[in-house]
Amino acid sequence: MRGYRQKLKKNGFKLTPGREAIIAFFSGKNHYATPETVWKEVRKSLPRLGLPTVYRNLEQMRKINILTQVDGAENRFYFGLCRAKNPGEHHHHISCQKCRRVSEVENCYLQSLTKEIKEKTGFQITGHKLQLTGVCKDCR
């Protein structure tokens, strides 16, 4: 919790009640949630917090790698706390299709494939996005 405060300050963001409440919300559970879900929950303690503010804060905290964003079903965003050892480093996430739990996949196994794909397709690979779906330990 303290770590997030430092990270916000270091990046020039103020410590607003909204930001603190959003982080507190995610700290309680290691699951993804939509902006609206976050809003409805956080509003219980901050009734005047607006949904646009939640969107703004989620995006800002994603930019500084406090949160991670997943493009979920139906073209909606999901956010979750990034718990990687080094959140700024390239890595992936896997989410449970039953309970939305998130886990870090800190090794990226794809970099080694760059050469092979280049030979086959002629493309110089500049990036990739990997969306892993599964069932977590507790849901089996």
Residues that bind its own copies (CB under 8 A): 71, 75, 77, 94, 96-97, 103-105, 107, 109-110, 113, 116-117, 120-137, 140
Question: What gap in Å lies between CA 127 and CA 110, rounded to an integer?
Answer: 10
Partner from Mn ion, its own copies, Zn ion, none contacting 137, C-beta within 5 to 8 A by type: its own copies
Contacts with Zn ion by CB under 5 A lie at 96, 98-99, 101, 136, 139
Partner from DNA, Mn ion, its own copies, none contacting 17, C-beta within 5 to 8 A by type: DNA
Judged by CB under 5 A, the chain residues 64 through 103 that form the site for Mn ion are 68, 82, 84
65 touches 3 (CB < 8 A): no
68 touches 93 (CB < 8 A): yes
Does residue 63 touch DNA according to CB under 7 A? no
The identity of residue 86, as a single letter, is N
How far is CA 20 from each of CA 17, 40, 71, 109, rounded to the nearest angstrom? Answer: 5, 15, 24, 35
Using CB under 5 A as the criterion, which residues of the chain lie in contact with Mn ion when the complex forms? Answer: 68, 82, 84, 104
